Copies of this chain bind each other. A is one copy, B any other.
Amino acid sequence: MTYCVGILLDEGLILASDSRTNAGVDRVSTFSKMHVFEKPGERVFVLLSAGNLSITQSVERVLADSLGQGEGALDLYSAPTMYQAARTVGRAMREVFQVDGPSLQQHNLDFNASIILGGQIAGGEPRLYMIYSAGNFIEATRETPYLQIGEVKYGKPVLDRMLDAETGFAEAAKCALISFDSTMRSNVSVGTPIDLAFYRRDSLRLGHRQRIDDADPYFAKIRAEWSDGLRKVFEGIPNPDWPI
């Protein structure tokens, strides 16, 4: 399993992914699920991927090999807008489906993959998309400023409660890490290291990147304080006075 989240803030974009891949519980590996394509000063794309690793690696390879090939190819460096860049990722997904989809079906395997694309192209706004396995996609908005893929449910409540478009970078990063903590506590197949990337609006180059492993002292502090805090809140709420 996987957990990835992209957040679109007034300040810019935060992209975060775990790194655990498993094909059965006895085949657990570490693969980064974050890929960056960037022409500093002109455009930045960050991709996060979930689902069948053979599919998402193929999609990323197709996109990487097409860079600079020009319009008509699956060239993110030729996309005039972020919308067209999302279309390009969707077309790459469809191309891999044409090659691998029928054989996967013969083995009763779903063509299961999804990709979060965040970035900005000079002259446009920072944007955040989620591309489905069929190549169609949705975009994050100010009302719902985040998109998730993979094991999404456990980490969703804290995002819903704490995050809006005006949240600052540092506070949103804290929120994302609590979202990862909740997910990792409930689903053992999501695990560290966690990759975080920050993109500041209109900078047109990728900003800070942070890799968080099990020994990371800030992540350990968040986990402990969140857990202790929840317990204190729980204990502070009175019990019902029903005649039970």
Q: Hey, which bits of chain A sit against chain B, CB under 8 A?
A: 153-154, 156-158, 160-162, 168-171, 173-175, 177-178, 182, 185-186, 198, 200, 207-208, 210, 218, 221-222, 225-227, 229-234, 236-244
- The answer to whether A233 and B242 touch across the interface, beta carbons within 8 angstroms, is no
A242 with B173: in contact, given A227-B161, A236-B229 (CB under 8 Å)? yes
Q: Which 5 A-B residue pairs are closest in the complex by CB-CB distance?
A: A229-B233, A170-B239, A153-B153, A208-B244, A198-B244
A207 with B244: in contact, given A178-B234, A239-B170 (CB under 8 Å)? yes
Distance to closest chain B CB from A161 (angstroms): 6
Interface centre among A170, A177, A239 (most CB of B within 10 A): A239
- The answer to whether A185 and B160 touch across the interface, beta carbons within 8 angstroms, is yes
Chain B residues whose CB sits within 8 angstroms of the CB of A210 once the complex forms: 240, 242
Complex Cα spacing A232 to B225, Å: 12
Chain B residues whose CB sits within 8 angstroms of the CB of A170 once the complex forms: 239-240, 242, 244
Distance to closest chain B CB from A111 (angstroms): 19
Name A170's closest neighbour in chain B (CB-CB). Answer: B239
Complex Cα spacing A221 to B168, Å: 30
Distance to closest chain B CB from A215 (angstroms): 15
Distance to closest chain B CB from A37 (angstroms): 21
Complex Cα spacing A161 to B186, Å: 10
Distance to closest chain B CB from A9 (angstroms): 11
Distance to closest chain B CB from A179 (angstroms): 11
A233 with B233: in contact, given A160-B186, A169-B244, A240-B170 (CB under 8 Å)? yes
Interface centre among A156, A178, A208, A233 (most CB of B within 10 A): A233
- The answer to whether B174 and A237 touch across the interface, beta carbons within 8 angstroms, is yes
Distance to closest chain B CB from A121 (angstroms): 22
Complex Cα spacing A238 to B168, Å: 13
Interface centre among A161, A173, A240 (most CB of B within 10 A): A240
Chain B residues whose CB sits within 8 angstroms of the CB of A158 once the complex forms: 230, 234
- The answer to whether B174 and A240 touch across the interface, beta carbons within 8 angstroms, is yes
Chain B residues whose CB sits within 8 angstroms of the CB of A153 once the complex forms: 153-154, 186
Chain B residues whose CB sits within 8 angstroms of the CB of A218 once the complex forms: 240-241
Complex Cα spacing A198 to B239, Å: 15
Complex Cα spacing A156 to B185, Å: 10
- The answer to whether B236 and A233 touch across the interface, beta carbons within 8 angstroms, is no
Chain B residues whose CB sits within 8 angstroms of the CB of A244 once the complex forms: 169-170, 173, 198, 200, 207-208
